Amino acid sequence: MDPSLHLIERRERRGKRVASLAMLAVIVVLGASLFGMFAFLETNAAFGTVEDVSESLICDPDDYDLSFPALGSLSEVYTSDGVLLGKITERNSQPVPIDEIPDIVKWAVVSAEDGDFYEHEGIDFSSILSAAIDNARYEGIRGGSTITQQIIKKNVLTDEITIDRKICEAVIAAELERTLTKDEILEFYLNSQFFGENAYGVAAAAEEYFGKPLDDLTIAEAAAITVPIRNPSFYNIRRFPDRVEDRRNSVIKQMEKNGFITEEESQAAQAQPLAPIEHQSFEEVDPRILQEARERLLADPSFGLGDTYTERKHAIFGCPANDTECEGGGGLTITVTVNYEQQLEANRMLRSWFQDPDGPTGAIAMIENETGAIRVISSGLDYGTDFEAGERTYDLAVEGRRQAGSSFKPLALVSALENGSQYDWPITLGSYWDQTSPQRIECGFPCSPQGDIWTVSNAGGGGSGIVTLEQATYTSKNTVFAQVSLAVGPEQIVDTAHKLGIESPLSPVLSIALGTQVVTPLEMAAAYSTLANYGEKVDSYLIERIEDEDGNVIYEHEMSRNRVLDEALSAAVVQTLEKVPRAGGTAPRANIGRPQFGKTGTAQNFRDVWFVGGIPQYTTAVWVGYADAQIEMVDFYVYNEREDSNQYIRRAYGGTVAGPVWHDFMTYITEDLPVMEFPPAPEGTEAFFRVPRTEVPDVSDMSKKDATDAVYKAGLRIKVEFVASVEEENTFLEQSPAAGTEISQGSIVTVQYSSGVPPQLIDLRGLTLEELEMAISAFNEASGLNLVWTIENVPTDEPSVLGRVIGTNPPAGSLVQPEQLIVVFVGVPDLGG
């Protein structure tokens, strides 16, 4: 059967666009369940919202460049250590014209990916609806895109998962089918598709897996090279031959069903062993890096590749295949900052730690502090569109915006030290704060479902007393940082975060200090890197250098350092964060035994956990969570490489899950790295640790609880004493120091209350007359009894009691009444003896 006959028949009936935009909208919306789209949009802030989708359901194909990259002008991407990652676009460096590609190869690809390719006009409505029904029925994710739609998604639009993008994809696919022939579309697909192992296009795939040209492929081999298209990692021909062979045989059966081969040929091909050759090239690193480089180059004119998107596309990919007058472009050599070996280890480690496909995963981002070079951007999932097989079309390290939890507290701390005041005194790391948990924060404006009251608790439950802001940082006290946010103002914290390196939009809400806003691992690494540089922000970057085909340098990154924080302030924050991985901090499991700093983070209900920290040379952010949604991480297992065993996690915390991953990765990074100390603290650093003064509050009309709260709020300790008194129980009697006294924060305020027990006369025996007067005055002041007393001399021959009290009436321990007369017997010389 000649597929071109189908093309001729269909072209004769063509003259209009396939369907109206309204019809496309209905079909694509029905198919939105292909990607679990609605749930995904609501739970992952890295992508748009359902409200965003309603903004633009119509797109005009004329607004898009539908030309394909030229076949022979491709740009290469290298790591900082000279390893070729691949092509900047998903095109093969050995393109083959369609008339030189054997029919058996074309038939295999069409049968595997788009059985009705020669029948539809860009959109296969029956496939979309079938996939939608299957997904609704089986709660799975099965694709319904045609070959034409796949081309549009990868080369014209983005991988963003939104309804309007899906509709636009269908509209443009229909337009592409009107613009180009089926052979032109299929030719580009066969030469541009990624087949795993850095093989782009069918020719490269044939050589990669079977070491032969296309003309020599058997039916079984032609079917086999199509299998990795769906998911190159899951269907790795060498690592998972059984699952690949099952899928290969399904493709062969489909070829038979389509009439491309006979039943006898089908049976013989299915019986043929898979038998791939050994890999002859370098290991594939991560398609995400190629994608990230591509997106940055196309989006940013500062790389010198053109002022417009069209100019930059031409510079990178070369001339469109259908433009015979175009010249130049493409053939660039692009060097990125990523370190090949370090990236491989990050990828390996994440997959080792998080092996359950239904469990959490992770991401690692690492920046070189001195230069800002991005050395690692690793996700624990494979890159691709097959969600069911574990692939994702987004990079968790770069695009995965999640709640930072307490790892955001250092950013709030910086803002407090820069701008904050507490009771008209500047906030320092030596200032004292109420750590009582739970704690009701009076916002003064609506700030929670409770209205203007925000109830905050510390991890682990209750507690009371005061701590310094330094202690509250390395022990991660939520109640303290809630007060800090109120004292500083969330707007100030937003400004500080953006100044340090956070680029995501942040809402100025009080809970921002507790990390309720969403950020990416790469952003957090950049912000902490500014701290490691003692307040100098070095812009992070991925593109190191661009050269043309002749080796001329078109672009080379120039480092930019700008002071955004006071040096002494930054040093004080780093010194505080150095205590986090030590005993007493929240992350002793992240301790790598050399100078380091960092902070744990655990989002509400254990949904996202972090450890962000660094050494003088590098700063690294580790995030752990579920890829598509914020799901509680409870009752699961990870694989602990150090202990070579599965480790049960009852509840995930930054210090118990992300911290150990950070430890293992940074231990690898520092194996041959010289130990460096952070620079000495500059002059003025000690000022940020000074203990401020405060004013003693007046608690005279307060209950014991209210007085305790007031004293803690003033940054003071309280000592409560109950003394015998005729006043009712719990009646305030006295405080010391007196209200309004200015003292150092952390000092003790003694508050006395009536015990409600009538006072008993104290024992005055043995006191001198001077001591007697002082004792009775103190007793009267404490008890409020205002006792009166008189002295009665008692002659004695005993020298030890002369001039001293030898007894009282009533005796010591007797109950006494207000203004009662006390007779005091004092020994005097017996002159009559």
Q: Does the structure show a pLDDT above 80 at 28?
A: no
Q: What is the pLDDT of residues 577-601, one digit of tens each?
A: 999 999 889 999 999 999 999 999 9
More confident residue, 374 or 148: 374
Q: Does the structure show a pLDDT above 90 at 695?
A: yes
Q: Does the structure show a pLDDT above 50 at 11?
A: no
Confidence of residue 40 (pLDDT cuts 50, 70, 90): very low
Q: Does the structure show a pLDDT above 60 at 3?
A: no
Q: Does the structure show a pLDDT above 60 at 22?
A: no
pLDDT of residue 282: 40
Confidence of residue 17 (pLDDT cuts 50, 70, 90): very low
Q: Does the structure show a pLDDT above 70 at 143?
A: no
Q: Does the structure show a pLDDT above 70 at 116?
A: yes
Confidence of residue 84 (pLDDT cuts 50, 70, 90): confident
Which residue, chain included where needed, has tokens 């259908």? 322
H-type alpha helices, 280-335: 287-299, 309-317
Confidence of residue 177 (pLDDT cuts 50, 70, 90): confident
Confidence of residue 643 (pLDDT cuts 50, 70, 90): confident
User: What is the length of the chain?
Assistant: 833
Give the whole-angstrom CA distance, residue 432 versus residue 716: 7
pLDDT of residue 37: 39
pLDDT of residue 392: 72
Confidence of residue 162 (pLDDT cuts 50, 70, 90): low
Which of 306, 392, 385, 379 has its CA nearest to residue 349? 379
Least confident of 23-27, 49-53, 365-369, 562-566: 49-53
pLDDT of residue 476: 94
Q: Does the structure show a pLDDT above 50 at 618?
A: yes
Q: What is the pLDDT of residues 785-799, one digit of tens each?
A: 889 999 999 999 999
- Given CA atoms 351, 357, 362, 363 in this order, what sign does their dihedral have? positive
pLDDT of residue 43: 36
Confidence of residue 389 (pLDDT cuts 50, 70, 90): low
Q: What is the pLDDT of residues 281-291, one digit of tens each?
A: 444 456 788 88
> From the CB of residue 278, how many other CB atoms can be counted at a distance below 10 Å?
6
Average pLDDT over residues 22-43: 41
Q: What is the pLDDT of residues 458-499, one digit of tens each?
A: 987 778 899 999 999 999 999 999 999 999 999 999 999 999
CA angle 396/292/190 to nearest 5° reads: 110
Q: What's the token pair of residue 290?
A: 């190629």
Q: What is the pLDDT of residues 311-349, one digit of tens each?
A: 998 888 876 544 445 566 788 999 999 999 999 999 999
pLDDT of residue 264: 96
Using a 10 angstrom Cβ sphere, with 0-12 exposed, 13-18 middle and 19 or more buried, the burial of residue 240 is middle
Average pLDDT over residues 289-296: 88
Q: Tell me the CA distances in angstroms from 724 to 749, 816, 818, 819, one per residue in order.
A: 20, 11, 13, 16
Give the whole-angstrom CA distance, residue 470 versus residue 663: 23
Phi and psi at residue 470, to the nearest 5°: -65, -50
Q: Does the structure show a pLDDT above 90 at 58?
A: no
pLDDT of residue 233: 86
DSSP 118-135: TTSSS--HHHHHHHHHHH
Q: Does the structure show a pLDDT above 80 at 98?
A: yes
pLDDT of residue 833: 56
Phi and psi at residue 548, to the nearest 5°: -85, -175
Q: What is the pLDDT of residues 727-781, one digit of tens each?
A: 888 999 999 999 999 999 999 999 999 888 888 899 999 999 999 999 999 888 8
pLDDT of residue 91: 40
Average pLDDT over residues 198-216: 88
Q: What is the mean pLDDT of the chain?
A: 85
Which residue, chain included where needed, has tokens 């203004």? 819
pLDDT of residue 140: 39
Phi and psi at residue 78, to the nearest 5°: -120, 150
More confident residue, 715 or 784: 715
pLDDT of residue 7: 38
Q: What's the token pair of residue 502?
A: 């956070």
Using a 10 angstrom Cβ sphere, with 0-12 exposed, 13-18 middle and 19 or more buried, the burial of residue 301 is middle
Q: Does the structure show a pLDDT above 60 at 385?
A: yes
Instruction: Name residues whose C-beta falls within 8 Å of residue 777's C-beta, 6 or more positions apart in sequence.
Output: none
Q: Does the structure show a pLDDT above 60 at 36?
A: no
Number of H helices and E strands in the chain, helices first, is 25, 32
Least confident of 190-199, 248-257, 320-329, 772-781: 320-329
Q: Does the structure show a pLDDT above 70 at 21?
A: no
Q: What is the pLDDT of residues 520-547, one digit of tens each?
A: 999 999 999 999 999 999 999 999 999 9
Phi and psi at residue 519, to the nearest 5°: -145, 170
Confidence of residue 380 (pLDDT cuts 50, 70, 90): confident
Buried b (16+ CB within 10 A) or exposed e, 730-753: eebbebeeeeeeebebbbebebbb
pLDDT of residue 296: 93
More confident residue, 117 or 468: 468
Average pLDDT over residues 212-224: 96
Q: Does the structure show a pLDDT above 80 at 512?
A: yes
pLDDT of residue 54: 35
Q: Does the structure show a pLDDT above 60 at 86?
A: yes
Least confident of 53-67, 527-541, 696-710, 759-773: 53-67
pLDDT of residue 38: 35
Confidence of residue 661 (pLDDT cuts 50, 70, 90): very high
